[in-house]
Structure 1
Amino acid sequence: MTIRRWLAVPTAAVLALGATFAQADSAQASRYYEDALKRFERKDVDGAILQLKNALQQDARMLTVHVLLGKALLSRSEAAAAEIEFNEALSQGINRAEVALPLAQALVAQGKQAEVFKLPALVPEGLPDDVRKAVLLVRAAAYADMGDPARAQTQIDAARAIPPDNADTWLAEVPLRLRARQFDKAALAADQALKFQPANAEALYQRATVPHVQGRLDEALKGYERAIAADPRHIDAQLARAGLLLDMNRDADALAQVQALLKLAPTEPRALYLNAVLAERRGDAATARAGLKAVTEQLDPVPIEFIRFRPQALMLNGLAHYGLGQMEKAKPYLEYAQRQTPNSPMSKLLAQVYVAEPNLERAGEVLEAYLKAFPGDGQALVMMASLQMAQGRHARAASLMQEALRTRDAPEFHTALGISLMRGGQSGGAVAELEKAFQRDPRQNYAGMALATLYLRGGQTAKAVSVAERLVKQNAKNPSAWLMLGLARRGAKDLNGAREAYQQAAQLDPSLVDAKLGLARIEIAQRQFDAAQARLDALIKADEHNVDALYEMALLNEARGKPAEVQRWLAKAADMSGPRNTRADLALVAWLLKRDQPGPALEAAKKLLAKAPDDPQTMTTYARAQLANRDLAGARATLANATRRSGFGPDPLTQIAALQLDARDTAGAAYSLDKALQAAPQHVGALSLASTVALQQGNSAQAEKQARMVVQLQPTQAAGYLLLADVAQARNQPAQAVEALRKAHDLQPTTGSLLALMRALGRQDPTGRGAQDLADRWLKTRPQDLAVWKALGDAQARAGAYPAARRSYETALKLKADDVEALNNLANALIRQGDAAAAAQTAEKALALDPRNAAVIDTAGWAQHLAGNADRALQLLRDARLREPGSPDIRYHLAAALAKAGRKAEAREELDAALRSKSFDSLKEAAALGQTLR
């Protein structure tokens, strides 16, 4: 059936619209432009942009508006938007000389250096001399960024050949010579610039960079001071002087310089970072953290592609995120920075980020390259050893550890090892190392933080609280310690204590967003929804890009039972998240899947995958969306890639294996689990799933061996006995299966163990009496157990007790009126009782709730057929057959409806397909129908 999505607009209407646009108020647009120009000239850029947009609403063809808007946007660092305006001006016929320079600058600001050499509008030939010279210098900088100094120098020489020669061409050469470590030529170029402009602050600054790089610090310091004297607003000179004073341990002078700089440029990321370093040196953790966060707030909104050729900015944001413990956010910046400066100490930070993912193979590659350049670095050796252990290479790990500890048996080495083990999935070893480090040196705050986190993960909340309290005692003025205490107390269900800890953190640092978020979480947990709403509203008002606050707003609305708002806030958080911040995206996909929206979930998962294409968790989530959309082949490929990227962490590998089973990739699941068990042979989750996989592969002996290992590891849990029951059932040993399930249910009398036992009893006794009695006893004390009421109805229906089954399903529906399974099975019971009209009505309710479920569609179609509604029946049964062509029952039902409609040839085709299966519920009826169709 063709659906017309768009209505055609008559040509006359289009022409009329065009006439309307042609009558735009150009006079008003001109007034807006003139006002904008005045605003721009007095540095009111925001006001200028507003007026320029007003002008465009009146007349979108004004070239002057597009050019000035582009320049205004570029001055506000909105390079992508500026590029659009300059290109629009070009498309409307502006002379390229008017926009060539700012367009080139906009491209470079976005990291599009290569585009500078491709666009016809930026070809230097044919431009006026002054513009051509400026464009050549932009091209020189672009070549330098791309690692081609020879071509960069060619562009500078070409610019210098355009008279008159000036300081700019020589200043462009200085950084180029410094990168090549040609210090004499760099000094000569700076001196030439100073000949043209002796008081030029930029030339004085560039001249001072030469002795700075060479290590002549006193000379460099004097040079920076001369530059500042020439122009007190020269940011780079002030930054260089502050950094130099810091290197010289003149912290008081450095702080004074940084404070002066922050008055001049309050949001300058480099100044904020230096301020954070100075705060850390004097033990002011709150100010240090606030400074690092301020750095990220300035640089995160800038797309990383824009600064990929700016190693200083890359390192700055990478270090800031790393200092805040935000490994995933630090990763792309550190990766780009390492490409600019390979085998620097930055490699160790990057390796720790890879370990956190975990991507142990990539971490090992980075560390191995670094250790070739610095073979005696003890910290790197410890990190490398932890990686080897995580990958099961114990002998190699032992050798590396001995080598590292020979360099120095220091608590911080034990901390590093513990952190590495933790991120490699070896929690037990990590706890031992971290405990050793924290006991030997309580100042190892990172060890304490990690140890408390591990205790929380392991459910040892009392230990987590104890460690967090020690951290607070030793660091009473450190808000991070109070934050950890809040987290630990919250994990221990001490919500009031957690609130006190978060409040203390907020008092120490009123700007600390994490403390405010912690308080909001407590308020949500205590159902103080209005208070949480007010707190989160304030955070979002202060920073609409606060992804954490947006995410918590989604959780608040979930607690309030507002699903549409949950989805809206998660989508907003995902959109606001940085290129590698995926928490909101992951939650959005999970939410959409939970709400049975597979199509939107897949679209959200695609965006997620674009953010972090190599992240195993991202791949796993994408695979879930693929499975929900029944793309089994795609899911298998995605999960195979996730397995390769997951290192040897047993938890993620076990999750991947479970999804591989859903994707019908038994061999892939077996490989993932084998990899997990190499790293953790006693990982209960991996063993349990491996037993199931072995059973599917026909290896019942291996399945039993692994099931008994689970029993040995968890003798008081039901899991191992449930696996033994599966083995017994596979071997056609019903008595042994029931015995194992009774043991499981005795150990853990849960709904799940009861249902498993009921199914086994039902297989033993076709009357289902034992299963029904078990359910009756359970429901006497647990009358609200929906799942057991449905299971009881199923057992009664299998025994042919349809009136009793009907009553059980109706009871279940009183507990949950929109339970699709209960509605569907009630409809089937009504069909069996001959009440087709009531069955059709009930089945349609189920169908409205789950319109893509083939079984539900089939029930509704069959009920409609029996009720005499032929058209509706055929529509539904054809749909069900297309969704699940392998179901013989569905094909029989369709055949019956087709036969009744007089379509006997098609009915025979469907019935023949059904009868190829020798065992299905409707086999007897299908055979009878076949006799009538011969």
Structure 2
Amino acid sequence: MLRVRFAGPCLIALLALSPVAAGQDFDPGGRRPRPPAVPGGHRPRPPKPPGKKKPDVDKLIKRYTAILLAKPHEAFPLQKLTQLYRQRDGKLDQLVAEFEKRAAATGPDQFNAKLALAGIYVHAQRKADAATLLEAAVKDKPNLATPQLMLARLAQQGDHHGSARKHFEAALPLMKKGIEKERVVRALMLLCVALKDFEAARKYHGQLVRLAGGSLFVKKELGRELLHRGHHALAEEEFRKIVRASAGDNRAVAPALRDLGKALAKQKKMAEALEVLKRARRIAGAQAGIRNEILVLLTEVYREQGKLVELIAILESERGRDFQRLATVGSLYEETGQVDKALETYRTALTVNRRNIDVRVKLVHLLQTAGQLDEAIKEYEALIKAAPHNADFVFELAETLIQRGDRTKALKLATDLERRSARDGEILAAVADFYERIEEQDRAIKVLERLAKLPSGDPQYVIDLGDRYYQRGDKKRAEATWLRIRRLVPNRARAASILGEVYLDHDMPTEALASFHEAVKLAPKRTRYRKQLAVALERTAAAVRGGRYRYREALTIWEELADNAGDDQLLARECRTHIVSLWAILRQLKDKIGPLKGRLAANPPDLQAGRLLAEVQRRLHKLADAEKTLRIVVRHAPGDEAAFLALERVLIMQRNLTGA
């Protein structure tokens, strides 16, 4: 699939931004209350003035509607507007209706409203309608580049490279010089490479180089794209041009030779690739970054030819204390089984750069493999000094010490790490896990208690602490710990939801359902909480006498969610799955066929009923009927990918592989 970097104003956004969860403040409930202020002490600070009230959703919708009408080709106002409508309504139906009305009304904003509506159609998965609208806009204003660019981007989203190229080429003469024109020319170059029209790709690349003022970086773009797409011979040709053009400038020649060497190696022209890369390394001089890249490529080429020993000899003959060269020689010694030389070379490299973590880790692991545990422990200690907050190294050393029987020293290492990271929740959690692995349960509990008191506001630490109490049989203390979630999480509905999950995971169904009901009551429009309640009702129904009422309550919730799913196809599919499963449990499948058939046969047909009907028929093994129903659905909704996949499954179940 072609991915073109083109992030200008004409970009049609496909995904709305997700609402960002609000931060959570830590409520240190349960601590000792502070003593009263001493008279004559510092005066209390005046309270902060109330923050500026955030505008409501309707006001924001009005604001971004105006911006979108003024700039219908820009991505951000469209993204924001779709996000706001989904936040308010849960779907885009009202947004589509609003802009269809504006696009139909004559006036100065009509044309911009049509362009904006095309973008909205894309978000609403109505790409064919978007294309029709944009094609009409092109006819209406043929000298305007914007509709052509929007059509090109729409074609790219569907991987229609030829159509995208046609529209970009139509837009190009209508554009003035500038960054936007460069982006379009670059897009055309990439599309031509994808379409294997290499002459046209070279033409657009030449235009791009001229627009960029002869930039050497831009000159390399075509060669790199050809190399990326596997056209290695053509890439080699382009890189040779760059090498010739860079003659006399060592800073430019070395990277060009590196790229040429890579293209030659891809074609298995190893002898020439080696010569080119050796030359590149000589020319690179003190440019450490490019020297390292070239050395990596050289190593790959020598390895491909089975000549690593020759490369080792070349690198050994070089003088100086180049850290990267020493590290590479050490790894080559290790790869060729020369352990003693590898150890010696790694140690030499570390005298040049003592704080390099990667080489020290290699040295430690090699010492462990060689059975030199005392030396490995010394290097682990140096590693911990170089990276004192990297808990992994501490735990590796501690486990090595435990294997040798030195548990006391291992525990001291963990305790020191615990002290150094007193306010780092992630490291403290790892320390608690380590204590549990080595069966130091009391130490683990103490660390979890500290975690639960951290001001980070993460309820997971409280959940984990309660879980440890629960596992030790102290259910009362576990429940008291979990209740602290209500103080820790400021959003009452979210706190109840988290508690419900905890109770459900610990076989406390009554408490779980009460918490989920509370969350739904506090935030009745939050789909997530209603889904949690429905799933909990299903999970707990089988364990109680007369659990059918729980199944029925869950069914009601899923049916309501399905009715309000709107354009959320994932939610609609999830609801259908649960609804049909519950009908099966309640033995209602056969009773549902007639009403669903009636809804599907209506004018217009109820396609959601059709999808449900097909699932019911499949469950009842009426595969021919399910196939017939799904064909009706896909005929009326040709873009319904899920329905086509369901039809494919039904055909396979009937062993109709040709039809599938």
Structure (1 or 2) with the greater helix fraction: 1
Q: Higher relative contact order at CA 8 Å, sep ≥6: structure 1 or structure 2? A: 2
Q: What is the TM-score normalised by the length of structure 2?
A: 0.32
Larger Rg: 1
Q: What is the TM-score normalised by the length of structure 1?
A: 0.24
